[in-house]
Amino acid sequence: DGGITQSPKYLFRKEGQNVTLSCEQNLNHDAMYWYRQDPGQGLRLIYYSQIVNDFQKGDIAEGYSVSREKKESFPLTVTSAQKNPTAFYLCASSSEYNEQFFGPGTRLTVL
């Protein structure tokens, strides 16, 4: 079955540690996206990538980094520079401009 996988579903880290969230898709989509969602809020764009080895900052990129070495993979690193990293992180991919497919999300809690 085609889809997007994110791992792990729940992640706990100590303050000051970097953490990397995984996102893999087998939909053969060119574009991939990372969003952050806080309780009662909409999704805010962190980074996006249209093609391999290229990515662009979204609205809230500070304290995050990404890589796009393979078409299928778009990992997100939450660095210690991110002041409030506890949130629900969603990865998405798309082939058209009008629909994005989302993974199940990773809920990150920084203690």
Residues near another protein (CB under 8 A): 31, 33, 35, 40-45, 48, 50-51, 54, 56, 58-59, 90, 97-105
Instruction: Using the minimum distance from each CB to another protein, give the nearer residue, 27 or 43.
Output: 43
Nearer to another protein, 72 or 101 (CB): 101
Query: Comparing C-alpha atoms, which of 70, 60, 63 is closest to residue 93?
Result: 70
Largest separation between any pair of C-alpha atoms in the chain: 39
CB of 59 to another protein, least distance (A): 8
Three-class SS of residue 99?
strand
Q: Is 81 exposed, middle or buried (0-12, 13-18, 19+ CB in 10 A)?
A: exposed
Rounded least distance, CB 26 to another protein, Å: 16
